[in-house]
Amino acid sequence: MKQAAVVCGAVFAILMASCAASAQTVASDPVASNPATFSLTAGSTTQDPLVAQFGGVPAIPSFAIASAASPAAAPMPAFQKDAPPSGSGADTPPVGVFGVFPSYKWQVYAGYTFIRFYVIPGVENNTNGLDFSVAYYFRDRVAVDGELAVSGGTYTGQSSQFFIGMGGLRYRHPVGETAVWIHGLAGEAHFSPQTAYGGEDGFGYELGGGIDVSPRRLRVSLRLEADMLGTLLYGTYQYSPKISFGLVFKD
């Protein structure tokens, strides 16, 4: 009987020592010793229904526990679905197209012309007629130019005719709906009737320019032109002013 009491006492002492060790371990755990120093960082606090029924402490997910002694957890960045990447230009409003004006390479001109032809010094012949030209712009502002002017009048009581055909280059400078241009041409001139001063044919050239006005960027322009004609007839030089105006057809 005495031996049984000793055995029971030893077992009881071992159990009490185990309980004391367990209580010391729980007291040293920061989670068990001071649960108020921890906070939930998750968006919601889910509580176990059995614990809530018996008044226990809510269940805290392990990933949502942060120690008060540790740095605060950084908030998760918010991602926006289908957001355009920065610098991609997707957030830039589109640039509207206000208008596109075609550039025509061919120009065909026809109009009225007046030429005061100086036959010899002190003798002039006023002629009226038509002026034709064709220009091809192989560059944006530079073109190959060809021209033919035909006019008639009266000289010494007879009908007179003046012809000049030339080729050369033209340069234009656009200004809004207008184009200012200059050209230089050279070719052959003819004046009849036959005079006592020499033959009817000779060298001729033209220097001058003009302005083309294109209302509303149409394919038809209005032209005003002024030139100086130089000819070599009858063994002398002639300098004759020429003006012209008409229509330009572009293609």
Exposure string for 115-124, b = 16+ CB within 10 A, e = fewer: bebbbeeeee
Work out how many domains the chain is built from and give that number.
2
Confidence of residue 32 (pLDDT cuts 50, 70, 90): very low
* CA-only gyration radius of the chain, Å: 53
Residues 161, 234: one domain?
A: yes
- 134: tokens are 């064709």
> Using an 8 Å Cβ cutoff, are 168 and 185 in contact?
yes
- Asked if the model's pLDDT at residue 44 lies above 50, the reply is no
Ramachandran sector of residue 180 (left: φ over 0; alpha: ψ -120 to 50; beta: rest) = beta
Helix (H, G, I), strand (E, B) or coil at 16: helix
Hey, what amino acid is at 55? G
pLDDT tens-place string over residues 222-231: 999 999 999 9
Q: Looking at residue 123, what is its pLDDT? A: 85
Closest CA to 60 of 86, 42, 79: 42
Q: Is 54 inside a domain boundary? A: yes
Confidence of residue 42 (pLDDT cuts 50, 70, 90): very low
Residues 52, 127: one domain?
A: no
Residue 19 structural domain: 2-59
| Mean pLDDT in residue range 90-104 | 54
Q: Is 86 inside a domain boundary? A: no
| Domain CATH code at residue 140 | 2.40.160.20
pTM exceeding the 0.95 threshold for the entire prediction: no
Residues 33, 113: one domain?
A: no
Kindly report the average pLDDT of the chain as a whole number.
75
Residues 53, 140: one domain?
A: no
Residues 44, 139: one domain?
A: no
Q: Is 95 inside a domain boundary? A: no
